[in-house]
Chain A
Amino acid sequence: MIALHRLTEPKVAKGVLGSVLYHGGVCLLGYLMLYPLLWVFVSSFKPADQIFTDAISLVPRSVTLENYVQGWAGFGGIPFSTFFVNSLIYAGGGTVLTVAASALTAYGFARLRFAGQRVWFMLMIMTLMLPVQVQVIPEYILFAKLGWLNTFWPLLLPRVGGQAFFIFMIMQFIRGIPRELDDAAAIDGCSEFGIFWRIILPLVTPALVTAAIFSFYFTWNDFLHPLIYLNDPRLYTVSVALRTFADPSTVTNWGAIFAMSTLALIPVFVVFIFFQRYLIEGISTSGLKG
């Protein structure tokens, strides 16, 4: 009764109509946006002969796991699990190194004063704009000379330097922490590293988590570096393996490719679903202060 009464009021009626239009429109557009992802997900469960024959349909006529079985068997006698392990080593190790180095550096730039600081800081900011293409050729020559092609060193070692984007983001968080906390700890006899470790780090956890998520995405999705440095299929990361697996000139089994593509996207989505709040806040903060 009350609802009915409200509906008769013109203003509220307009609100309800607006609401319906809003949610309807946003959902329709969202469906279009997410369609490619839904499509690959659904296709990965379709029997091979149905993937392209009823291509649009997001409701499979029959569901099969055969694509996953065949895809997981990999190629060249190497199961797909190998590629996932390689990707986890790269993305996991790379992320830990990047975040640790970025946090240390961010603290140095945000809280300490030392000779030459501004110059280094400006150089750091300038590296934000460097295209990876400029570094990759001499880096490749360097690692080739060291005999490190077909190892994970060329992928992991450069992460030791952190990444300017994360350093900057963590700095923004550190600047928001009152200096009185540092001073109090210093008076109590805390060393500089102690202040960093016991006071600052726990307070910038959101920034660290954000940096870790981004770093994980970038590394998990990274294609160029594994493509250049890893020629041995047993060392392939998921991205390079997928590329070989989905080579259009040889491919026949699209179901298996869609199954493995779906699996390749899952770690990223799992991280996203659990940490999206951090992520969305991280982008907003670092973006705003930029």
Chain B
Amino acid sequence: MSSIAPEGASRTIALPAGARPGATNAARRRAWQRNLTGYLFITPWLFGFFAFTAIPMLGSAALAFTDYNVLSQNIRWVGLENFQRMLFNDPRYWRSVQATFSFALVAVPLKLCFALALAMLFNNSRKLVYGYRAAYYAPSIVGASVAVAVVWRELFGRNSPINAFLAQFGIPGQAWLGNPDTALWTVILLSVWEFGSPMLIFLAGLKQIPGHLYEAAAIDGAGAWKRFIRITIPLLTPLIFFNLVLQMIFGFTVFTSAFIISGGAGAPLDSLLLYSLYLYQKGFKDFQMGYAAAMAWVLLAVIACFTALIFRSSSHWVYYESGSEDDR
């Protein structure tokens, strides 16, 4: 991941083209043609990158320092005002930060633990195991949909099956979604329920662990727990790392479930006001796009910090077998 200057890249182009120093025109033309072909292939991506990623991002960086409002079409340079307001004058903003951290810091580790436990459970060649894997993965393909969020809301509603089930044991039903202490847990549960992708990734990793390692450890008298801690976990750390980064990004940006379950408002008492939901409200309900853009950049910065933190820490806990990390 070192910085690679374009000159360096072009030098590596010229060499395989068979051009010696003092190359002929033909060699240069060939290099040029090579570049042209390359760029033609990535043109769609380049277009998308500039039109819908790079330029919009620069735009939103600029917007973050304005009070742009779609309705009034006013635009005024306000310097750091948006950020000041966020930090000091917007208690709802802080509630959304708190809700998002509570959500991500609980949901992501839980999801990964679940994914790993079930991957271990399915790492065998028993009958039907393939079908089980598919069945346990099924919630993950629909979990992010509005339909499931609507169902989730009703599952935890007043007359819901959950309450009816608890009533059988004499436990009084609760308004899970009306109570700020429990509302966020329903969204966490929905997120953990979608553990399928990390589970499959862990499963693929488990299959790569050579069986002789376990046999050798067993002969040396290591019990199941010790083998898990000393062999399985270390060899899976690259995948734990990968899943952690991905799921953390998802965790910080969850939108649909919180929107639907809280009726778009973050209720009750802003306990479901996840960051992206508040950002949506500011940008597309109040049309304070300058403020929303500033919020988006803070989100990006936080995600970048967390990713950097995980990357930096990875040298201490991610174990790579020598020679397996040859990326390109």
Contacts and interface: CB of A to CB of B under 8 A. Distances in A.
Interface in B12-52: 12-13, 16, 34-35, 37-49, 51-52
Contacts of B46: 120, 161
Given A105-B44, A284-B204, A131 B303 contact: yes
Interface stretch (A2-10, A19-27, A72-80): A19-27
Contacts of A221: 142, 144-146, 256
Contacts of B147: 40, 238-239, 242, 260-262, 264-265
B38 A55 contact: no
A35 B208 CA distance: 33
B4 A119 contact: yes
B47 A118 contact: no
Nearest to A242: B146
Interface in B95-137: 121, 126, 128, 132-137
A220 B161 contact: no
Contact of A287 (B150, B242, B283): B242
Interface in B45-65: 45-49, 51-53, 55-57, 59-60, 63
Nearest to A246: B150
B9 A261 contact: no
B139 A101 contact: no
Q: Among A131, A217, A276, find the residue whose CB has the most chain B CB atoms closer than 10 A.
A: A131
Interface in B215-247: 239, 242-243, 245
A269 B142 contact: yes
Interface in B272-328: 276, 279-280, 283-284, 289, 292-293, 295-297, 299-300, 303-304, 307
A162 B52 contact: no
B174 interface: no
B252 A138 contact: no
B41 A112 contact: yes
Contacts of B126: 19, 22-23
A228 to B, nearest CB: 6
Contacts of A141: 59, 63, 68, 70, 289
Contacts of B276: 131, 133
Contacts of B179: none
B81 interface: no
A274 to B, nearest CB: 12
A189 interface: no
Interface residues of A, number: 98
Contacts of A288: 201, 204-205, 208, 239
A64 B201 CA distance: 41
A187 interface: no
Contacts of A284: 200-201, 203-204
Q: Among B10, B204, B279, find the residue whose CB has the most chain A CB atoms closer than 10 A.
A: B204
Contact of A109 (B42, B204, B259, B284): B42
A265 B149 CA distance: 12
Contact of B141 (A108, A272, A287): A272
Shortest Cβ-Cβ A-B pairs, 10 listed? A161-B48, A114-B38, A108-B41, A284-B204, A287-B201, A138-B59, A138-B56, A101-B44, A261-B147, A52-B159
Interface of A: 19, 22-23, 26, 30, 33-37, 39-40, 52-56, 100-102, 104-105, 107-109, 112-120, 122-124, 127, 129-142, 144, 157-162, 167, 192, 196, 217, 220-221, 223-224, 227-228, 238-240, 242-243, 246-249, 254, 257-258, 260-262, 264-265, 268-269, 272, 276, 279-280, 283-285, 287-288, 290
21 contacts: A54-B164, A55-B159, A56-B161, A104-B43, A108-B40, A112-B41, A113-B13, A115-B6, A130-B57, A137-B63, A138-B63, A160-B47, A161-B46, A221-B146, A223-B145, A223-B256, A242-B147, A264-B146, A265-B142, A283-B201, A285-B204
